[in-house]
Amino acid sequence: MKNTKQEKTVKIKRMIFTYGSVLFPIATGRPVNYYRNGKWHRTEDVKRIIRSDKERIVVETKGFVYNIQFRQEEAASAMATA
């Protein structure tokens, strides 16, 4: 007997953990721009905003899930000046 059900394959997306200052507003269909280590970086177009709070933002794109922390860069610069 043949299997008549079509099986969906689920592609596991890679997660990218990073930090920086994020340029708001964040919207679906547009990339996220963030500043880290003296350079601007840009993600792919956002498909879904998973989480957004005062510590981080997590967005899903076509190929990746980005977890961008806000406070880590500020803490690192404060530690360097101390």
pLDDT (tens digit, 9 = 90+) per residue, 22-74?
998 999 999 999 999 999 999 999 999 999 999 999 999 999 999 999 876 55
**What number of H helices and E strands is found in the chain?**
1, 6
The answer for 18, left when phi > 0, alpha when psi is -120 to 50, beta otherwise, is beta
Give me the pLDDT at residue 72, please: 62
Tell me, yes or no, if the pTM score tops 0.85. Answer: no
Strand order from edge to edge, sheet including 39-52: 14-19, 64-69, 56-61, 39-52, 31-36, 21-23
The Cα–Cα gap between 69 and 82 comes to: 22
Do residues 65 and 51 touch, judged by C-beta distance below 8 A?
no
